[in-house]
Amino acid sequence: MMDGLDPLHDDLGLPADAVAIAMLPGTREDAAANAADLLDAAAAIRPAGVDPTRLRFVFAAHDRLDFAAVASRATGWSRTADGERLTLVAPDGAHALVVRGRFNETLAAASLVIGMAGTANEQAIGLGLPLIAVPSAGVQGENYVRMKARYFGDAAVTVAREPAAIAAAVEAILSDPAKRARMAAAGRERMGGPGASAAIAAEVRRRLEAQKP
């Protein structure tokens, strides 16, 4: 699960001083609804002491995500779409970037993650990213999030699917370096490091060779 997460392409073109928050709407049928709700949360997130022009909310979108469905909820944001990227700019200068095919790069750039996903949430904590877990609009709802919270432990906080609650959690994490460090350490401990794919392949090869006459 933790293999193959190194960036595959160029970076996301974020400013050097950007405060990047990864938004994970998932890849299921509810992804567009999740992304729209996460965009509502982005409009409410303004951490104390952070210039809004530095904020970059980076949405890791799957290939089928309908940009128009997300943009339709972007009231007050200016917008441009260019191939695999939708760029939204709030009146105060905060940016939301909805990008396809850049999951690895999104996590590499992020300071923390707001996730309505499954495996992607787990990979985020494994990389040492503090996770704010939010119930999705579909099957990964409140029961699912409660179940995962027992596994995530201190690596994640769970909040309601409400912009104010999500914004408060972001503020609490970004303003507390010690809390971020505890969450990062817990996530790495829970998930372990990369290398499982190579170990499995080596074991399969060993067993196949052992069966040779």
Domain membership of residue 1 (yes or no) is no
208 located within any domain? no
Question: Count of CB atoms within 10 A of residue 148's CB?
Answer: 18
**Within 10 A of 158 (CB to CB), how many other CB atoms are there?**
17
Distance of CA 26 to the CA centre of its chain: 9
The predicted pLDDT at position 5 comes to 47
Distances in whole angstroms, Cα of residue 116 to Cα of each of 81, 138, 174, 205: 24, 10, 20, 37
- Give the model's pLDDT for residue 194: 58
pTM of the model: 0.86
Total domains present in the chain: 1
Residue 210 lies in a domain: no
**Look-up: residue for tokens 């609490």?**
172
2 within domain boundaries: no
The residues, any chain, with a CB within 8 Å of residue 105's CB and separated by 6 or more, are 7, 8, 9, 10, 11, 12, 99
User: What pLDDT is attached to residue 49?
Assistant: 93
186, part of any domain: yes
Domain coverage including residue 49? 19-197
Those residues of the chain that have pLDDT short of 50 are 2-3, 5
Q: Distance (Å, rounded) from C-alpha 90 to C-alpha 56?
A: 11
Q: Considering the domain boundaries, does residue 10 fall inside one?
A: no
Q: Half-sphere exposure (CA, 13 Å, Cβ side) for 65?
A: 29
Q: Are 32 and 65 in contact (CB under 8 A)?
A: yes
Residue 203, in any domain of the structure: no
